[in-house]
Structure 1
Amino acid sequence: MSENQDRKRSNLLVQVEGVHVMEHIANNYNKVSAFCPDPSDLLIATYPKAGTTWVQETVDLLLHSGDSETCKSAPIPVRMPFLENSARPGIPSGLDLLKAMEPPRVIKTHLPFHLVPKGFWENKCKVIYVARNAKDNLVSYFYFDQMNLTHPDPGPWEGYIQKFMHGQLAWGSWYDHVKGYWEERERRNILYLFYEDMKENPRREVERIMRYLDLSFSDDIISRIVELTSFKSMKDNPMANYTFMSKTIFDLSLYTFMRKGEVGDWMNHFTPQQAEEFDEDYEKKMKHVNIPFRTQL
């Protein structure tokens, strides 16, 4: 690893209202919190590595009637700004991008519910939330943190499990994240999607998103969108697979941004003892909610 990559890996997480985030996001949070969206703006919210890009591309294709060429006009973070992200090599900050765009805009965030700018709720913006079962989300995040040179070094797998369980990763606790949006989904008209449902029946979930956006398309267009948002299609799409990112940010020689996209890959990583300890902790943290997660299909 180069000296420059080593320097970046020295970055530590800091807390904003009890949530661990990267320092550049913490430094920018006051401006992010003050952001006032247009009522026509759409927010796509997720915990990292829960299907964010998949839903972003699905939404973009729906908004452009399945026109893949229009959706390949720019990298996905330019088409759908990452709200809390500050400027990176080749990509302006989320707020700067949003200032230059006319509503309606599609905006991405990993912020937990209580850190989302209040304007989204005051203006009754539509919000799509995507949740992925904890074990697969943990595995995907582990590999992502190895190739994401702007995050702290993830360390060994055994220790990473503990970090996840204690909310010591960027964007904080998975448990608080998925519960926060779940508990507010009806009051805030949040479309709450599950990664596993999208894998099981992508057409059904594309149609759910379509109806939520008050759109209607022919079966042919829906089928085209389902095909264009398949894992293989998106992994081969240079405007969605993050191969456009600077090598100082993502080391794609380690792992690709879209690695497997499977349900149940956690079984290839957890030992029986790790799974038992994780399940016991999960039950304690999730005992007061009944979110229908599935760890295999």
Structure 2
Amino acid sequence: MAEKMSNLANRINLFLAGLKEKDKKELLLTYKGVLYPNLLCSSEAFEALETMETRKEDMLIVAYPKCGTNWMLHIVNEMVDACNKDLPPPEGFQMLEFKGPEDIQAMKNQPSPRVFTTHLHYDNIPKSFIKNKVKILVIFRNPKDAAVSYYHFYNKNPVLPNASSWDEFFQKFMSGEVCWKSYFDHALAWDKHMDEENIMVLTFEDLKENLSVGVKQIAEFYELPLSDEMMQSIADKATFQSMTNTSKATHGEFGPILFRKGEVGDWKSLFTEVQSQEMDAKFEECLAGTKLGVKLKYDKYCKF
């Protein structure tokens, strides 16, 4: 797996080096009312995704930005690699919306199992994933930590515009004026599908509390034949500290941008009392009493 990851790191470094040659005046793209990073996404790619052909054995990881996407991708890739040693490395980025039209066409030749990730809203995921009942692992994080992590990501990421202040970013986060739109819209959409047999929802906080249990749940969900020893080894290599230590080897110069703190409760470093109360009210309005709302354990993780 290390060789496969070093290939990804090289591709990322080449991409970042290429950014120096590009005009960054227009960093954001709007497609069907949703903002996306213009240097990674294109209207042509989104159109190609609408007719993407999926397979029953495909594996999809879905998360709102900064809720654990790369963490879960690392774990699932390690699992697939352990079960399929001869499988070639994935072509290009595994994030669906970062693939160009030619990449989407080339995916037809990629052997199974194919692993994909996305930040797309449920309604914007290629319909073939839903029609073919592809197994979808959905990761959610409490909205306060997600907002703070997303703020830092905006300011460290060369493909996104800097937020002038936390206060400004907070208001944009609350109104859904950020890339991939509203956290709460994403949550409400997935709440309606939590009980479907091909969907499993886990939380960032539960995984932080007991990663070994989470790894076992993921392996069982994707029906991957891993021994207890193999699952524990994968969990040991997937702690935040372990992934931070190897981030430059796995993700090149983008590693330190992706992996910042990975903590639960870091929201207290930026939220004011008024902002906390505004988020509390939004959660109450949108998610209180829902299955996903209960699973997020909001009172435990989001109260001063």
Q: Please give the range of the TM-score, normalised by the shorter of the 2 chains.
A: 0.7 to 0.9
Which is further off, 77-86 or 142-151?
77-86
Which residue is equivalent to 1:280? 281
Matching residue within 165, 169, 175 for 1:160: 169
Q: 1:273-297: CA deviations, max 9, x gaps?
A: 2211222233223246342213556
Which is further off, 106-115 or 177-186?
177-186
Q: 1:26-53: CA deviations, max 9, x gaps?
A: 3421111111111111111111111011
Which residue is equivalent to 2:272? 271
Which residue is equivalent to 2:58? 41
Distance 2:233 2:288 in 1: 40
Distance 1:269 1:276 in 2: 13
Q: 1:59-88: CA deviations, max 9, x gaps?
A: 112223389x999x86xx74762111145x
Matching residue within 107, 111, 124 for 2:116: 107
Contact residue 83 and residue 226 of structure 2 kept, 8 A:
no
Matching residue within 234, 237, 245 for 1:228: 237
TM-aligned CA deviation for residue 150 of structure 1: 1.5
- 1:1-297 maps to which residues of 2 (within 5 A)? 7-8=23-24, 10-16=26-32, 18-23=33-38, 24-65=41-82, 78=91, 81-86=94-99, 95=104, 98-187=107-196, 189-238=198-247, 241-245=250-254, 256-287=257-288, 289-290=290-291, 291=293, 292-294=295-297
Work out the number of aligned pairs and report it.
278
Contact residue 41 and residue 103 of structure 1 kept, 8 A:
yes
TM-aligned CA deviation for residue 98 of structure 1: 2.4
TM-aligned CA deviation for residue 99 of structure 1: 3.9
Q: Secondary structure at the match of 1:103?
A: coil
Unaligned 5+ runs, structure 2: 1-18
Contact residue 83 and residue 225 of structure 2 kept, 8 A:
no
Which residue is equivalent to 1:249? none
Opposite residue 203 of structure 1, the aligned amino acid is S
TM-aligned CA deviation for residue 4 of structure 1: 5.0
TM-aligned CA deviation for residue 125 of structure 1: 0.8
Which residue is equivalent to 2:15? none
Q: 1:248-276: CA deviations, max 9, x gaps?
A: xxxx7xx6320000100001111112211
TM-aligned CA deviation for residue 234 of structure 1: 1.0
Q: Secondary structure at the match of 1:172?
A: coil
Task: Check 1:231–1:96 CA distance in 2 against 1; reply closer, same or farther (3 A cut).
Answer: farther
Q: TM-score under structure 2 normalisation?
A: 0.81
TM-aligned CA deviation for residue 143 of structure 1: 0.8
Q: 1:182-202: CA deviations, max 9, x gaps?
A: 211223520111000000010
Contact residue 167 and residue 173 of structure 1 kept, 8 A:
yes
Distance 2:266 2:178 in 1: 20
Distance 1:98 1:236 in 2: 31
Q: Secondary structure at the match of 1:184?
A: coil
Task: Check 1:151–1:185 CA distance in 2 against 1; reply closer, same or farther (3 A cut).
Answer: same
Task: Check 1:4–1:100 CA distance in 2 against 1; reply closer, same or farther (3 A cut).
Answer: same
TM-aligned CA deviation for residue 238 of structure 1: 4.2
Distance 1:15 1:79 in 2: 22
Which is further off, 229-238 or 195-204?
229-238
Q: Secondary structure at the match of 2:158?
A: coil
TM-aligned CA deviation for residue 226 of structure 1: 0.8
Same amino acid, percent of matched pairs: 30
Distance 2:236 2:162 in 1: 35
